[in-house]
Structure 1
Amino acid sequence: MPIKVITFDLDNTLWDVEPALIRAEEAQRAWLLEHRPGTMEQYDHARLWEFKKRVWQRHPELLHNVSAMREQMLLELQLAAGYAEKEARVGAEQAFAVFLQQRHQVELYEEALEILEALSRDFTLGALTNGNADIFKTDAGEYFDFAFLAEDVGASKPAPDMFHAAMASSGATATNIIHVGDNPEHDIQGARAVGMYTVWVNTLGQKWPGGERAHREVISLKDLPAAIDSIATEAPGERS
């Protein structure tokens, strides 16, 4: 069987990320209101979003490191409120730690753990994410053999760096790997560009936006094993 490795995107592939992000943002805001008064009171959601965008524009070097970018935003919020740099840096670290703790309180899709457990018996499993979720801090961590974040490799999907890192870590070639993800550009186009098989997790029933399609499409993770079995029956030279 040519398939040896299954790599997964995380957010909106294994879980709905929005609830965890909302809780994390609320916890971060509460920490700042208590420990750094004057930092957040004047910002509603829209104004805070504009502040974040200005930070991104000033720090393009942090484009592929969402953790460092968030800490920079937290630092600048406190500096703008008049806190000394040393105090602001400590506050940024602590507020980010609060955010990250809640960010990892994800609720996996109902069938995810059962599917991952079954797949882990036959395949090496890896996680590849542009975000800052650590799969090993979730309930699914025990089934994974390796994980890479964009900040680990210095580039976000669809750049090839994370896919190449997966090949190097697993010792598998591109034709031995299926990448599973929800984003047509980042996951499907990125993985296909390096020669991997792909499965599009389309839980929202979206239309394909164009370009080379995934090798298989599923609307639920419960359909993933069948899609993988179907791909595994193909010889590498027969892919479309």
Structure 2
Amino acid sequence: MKHIRGISLDLDDTLWDVWSVIRRAEVALHQHIQARYPDVASRYDADAIRDLRNQIVETRPDIAYDLTESRRVSFALMLESCGHDPEDSHALMAYFLELRHEVELFPDVQPALEALSARYDVIALSNGNADVGRLPIGPLFKGQVNAASAGVKKPDSRIFQAGCEQLGMDPEAVLHVGDHPIEDVLGAKDAGLSAVWVNRTAAPWTHPQKPDAEVQNMAELVTLLESVR
């Protein structure tokens, strides 16, 4: 991987545990709804709100790739079903996004990002709706691409191509790093990028095509890249 000049980084479950963030956000959102729309909260608990969002993803392929819009539409349907203005969904979504950005980085992430950004151009490349510009680590990134901006989700090659375009590099010069075997590793490899699998859970690799390397955390990634300089 001596030819690598740029790195695209997955965010959720690579830099932080996403489901603990989402669960906290969903509970806090329900409390927020209970204070403002008690009739809605009595009809929809946090699980029901999540189920409605999942239904939108399944039935609206035109917006399924955009996690913000699909969730907002689910809020609109929820409000409308209880006789409230569906336009209030925008305010609910803004509140949810505030909660969604209350992430806790894995301990290895901050020092690793500082080391990587000193040597490479680093961008975020995610299916999710986290905005690194809203996080303290934002200055360590040159930019970001997500499914909403690309119009497709990983493992679609087009989102990786969008990342390469933002970096101004050919795929051969870019390393993608992420936790998901299919969305991150196989998607990146199919798009012509190198790929490192961040396997924090010591899961077995079960696919014929393999990553260029496997690391347990971001500190190991820094060590790996230093060894191939």
**Residues 76-119 of structure 1, C-alpha deviations (whole Å, 9 max, x = no match):** 00111122xxx221x21111111100111111111211111111
One-letter amino acid matched to 1:135 = V
Cross-structure match for 1:126? 123
CA contact (8 A) 1:160 1:194 kept: yes
Q: Is the 8 A contact 1:71 1:96 kept in 2?
A: yes
Deviating above 6 A after TM superposition, structure 1's stretches of 4 or more consecutive aligned residues are: none
Q: Is the contact made by 1:27 and 1:98 (CA closer than 8 Å) also made in structure 2?
A: no
* 1:72 corresponding residue in structure 2: 73
Instruction: Tell me what 2:12 maps to.
Output: 11
Query: How many corresponding residue pairs?
Result: 228
Aligned match of 1:189 in 162, 186, 189?
186
* Cα distance per residue 1:153-187 (max 9 Å; x no partner): 10000001221111111111111111000000000
Give runs of aligned pairs for residues 1-240 of structure 1, distance below 5 A.
1-83=2-84, 87-89=85-87, 91-230=88-227, 232=228
C-alpha separation between the residues in 2 aligned to 1:125 and 1:37? Answer: 44
Shift of 1:38: 1.2
Q: Tell me, what secondary structure is at the counterpart of 2:40?
A: coil
3-state SS, counterpart of residue 62 of structure 2 = helix
Residue 188 (structure 1) shift: 0.2
Q: Distance in 2 between matches of 1:196 and 1:73?
A: 35
In the TM superposition, what is the alpha-carbon distance from 1:22 to its structure 2 partner? 1.6
- Within 2, Cα distance between the matches of 1:56 and 1:17? 18
- Residues 180 and 198, structure 1, Cα contact 8 Å, conserved in 2: yes
- Please give the alpha-carbon distance, in whole angstroms, between the structure 2 residues aligned to 1:142 and 1:3: 21
Task: Provide, for residues 186-211 of structure 1, a one-character-per-residue CA deviation record: whole Å limited to 9, x for no partner.
Answer: 00000000111111000011111213
* d(CA) in 2 for partners of 1:130, 1:68: 13
Q: Using the aligned pairs only, state the percent identity.
A: 29
Structure 1: where are the runs of 5+ without partners?
234-240
Match of 1:238 in 2: none
C-alpha distance in structure 1 between counterparts of 2:33 and 2:47, whole Å: 18
Q: Distance in 2 between matches of 1:217 and 1:6?
A: 15
Tell me how far apart the structure 1 counterparts of residues 4 and 190 of structure 2 sit (CA, whole Å): 17
Alignment check: 8 A CA contact 2:30 2:45 kept: no
Letter in 2 for 1:27: A
TM-score of the superposed pair, with normalisation by structure 1: 0.90
Aligned to 1:236: none
Q: TM-score, normalised by structure 2?
A: 0.94
Shift of 1:45: 4.9
| Structure 1 residue 136: Cα displacement | 1.4
Aligned with 1:152: secondary structure? helix
Bigger mean CA deviation after superposition, 160-169 or 179-188: 160-169
> Which amino acid is the alignment partner of residue 74 of structure 1?
F
Q: Distance in 1 between matches of 2:111 and 2:58?
A: 42
Give the deviation of 1:226 after TM superposition. Answer: 2.2
Q: CA RMSD in A?
A: 1.5
What SS is found at the alignment partner of 1:155? coil
Q: Distance in 2 between matches of 1:219 and 1:53?
A: 31
